[in-house]
Amino acid sequence: MNDRPDAVIIGAGVIGAAIALEMAREGYRTLNVDKLAAAGDGSTGSTCAIVRTHYSTRDGTALAYESFHHWKDWESYLGAPDERGYARLIQTGMVVIRSEGHDYRQHLRLHDELGIPYEEWDVATLRERMPFLDATAYYPARRPDDENFGRPSGDVVPGAIFVPSAGYINDPQLATHNLQRAAEAKGAEFLFHAQVTDVRRHGGRVRGITLADGREIDAPIAVNAAGPHSFIINRLAGVEGTMNVKTRALRHEVHYLPNPAGDRLPFVSDSDIGGYCRPEVGGTLVVGSQDPECDPREWIDDPDEFDRQVTPDQWRAQVYRLALRMPNLKIPNRPKGIADLYDVSDDWIPVYDRSDLGGYYLAVGTSGNQFKNAPMVGQLMAKLIAACEAGHDHDRDPVSVVGPYTGQRLDVGFFSRNREVIRDSSFSVLG
């Protein structure tokens, strides 16, 4: 292992691995350190790995559409073999249910502006294309213990939007391993079972990191891609108080159910009931919450200590709401699902930026809605770091990157640590 890399990347989830690949392509000798046993072992492994383009902002939408093309062209993008094979994009398309709780007009404007194909469905078309879905309107979402749960709020939803450039990645851990192998082919290294206990500084710059076993790794560049632990690493680096936008860890659950629609089920985003679902292997589906106001949020102070068991109350809320939309849904007697952590910023939009500590960079606030963007995030961060290390003042003149597939210019300054909270955000997993 190289004890004096050009850059140390804290975290080996999908974001950290993608940054390693793109920095290695820029000529940096990188070292990813992660406290877990393998790349993608943390919250990356629990993600629903959904690929979609409906975001609340132009920059978020453009980043997602560019990244979709990377996933579609995954093996070519990686450019390196993996003995485990390659992860795959399962392109199911996306159905977004129109409702009062979803600013679909903004999404349509952004898709028009960026040239993203979509179809508008009236309720008759929705029923024809998705006969397993009930079109009754229920907004706002409620929990089963609400006396008005299941009571229609109107006649039917106004229809839906279908976007073909959507789906999910069949194996998020394998996708991360693919990125690791591609990075290693360019000279990157990975160190596991390595917990960071200090970010060392000297003269206003990062100097390196210290590990729990006492080892010191010197590096002039450090990148925080630590997922739900990102706020802890920022405290170690002494930069948390200098950021206008901060991050916290949020506990979240997804649940597994029999799939009554089979191969006909696309990814469905449904703000009318406050949830989403997508197909899964073995005749099942995954259901999650879109964080409606009625769902409590459980913020976690210690990302190493939280309840990993799904809770009956949240299981009922998510499953019963989906049953309103899918009347043929079979609800098992025992809950089955995953509880893990999101790394959430104040406005649910990530921070991709430098920091006030020289050489220390931020790829944080990413969990819940950024897995799909990992390939382009790696490129944004690599270009940002190269520019800043060459003396460019990113705070005054933000770096931009042109997407190689779509040709769209992506403004990295949009993801600044010093931005005001972006009010156009959904303030939810939708971003």
The partner residues of 258 in beta bridges, in order of sequence, read 284
For residue 427, is pLDDT > 90? Answer: no
pLDDT at 1: 67
Band of residue 429 on the pLDDT scale cut at 50, 70, 90: confident
CA–CA separation, 133 and 410 (whole Å)? 37
Count CA within 13 A, CB hemisphere, residue 87: 26
pLDDT tens readout for residues 83-112: 999 999 999 999 999 998 777 788 899 999
Cβ atoms of 96 and 104 within 8 Å: the answer is yes
pLDDT at 243: 97
Angle at 349 between CA 343 and CA 351, to 5 degrees: 75
Mean pLDDT of the 212-221 span: 97
pLDDT tens readout for residues 161-192: 999 999 999 999 999 999 999 999 999 999 99
User: How far, rounded to the nearest angstrom, does the alpha carbon of residue 186 sit from its chain's CA centroid?
Assistant: 25
Task: Name the CATH code of domain 94-164+247-345 (choices 3.30.70.640, 3.90.1150.10, 3.40.50.300, 3.30.9.10).
Answer: 3.30.9.10
pLDDT tens readout for residues 56-69: 899 999 999 999 99
Domain ranges for the chain = 7-86+171-246+347-415, 94-164+247-345
For residue 148, is pLDDT > 90? Answer: yes
For residue 211, is pLDDT > 70? Answer: yes
Computed over every residue of the chain, the mean pLDDT equals 96
Mean pLDDT of the 254-272 span: 96
**7-86+171-246+347-415 adopts what CATH topology?**
FAD/NAD(P)-binding domain (3.50.50)
Cβ atoms of 60 and 345 within 8 Å: the answer is no
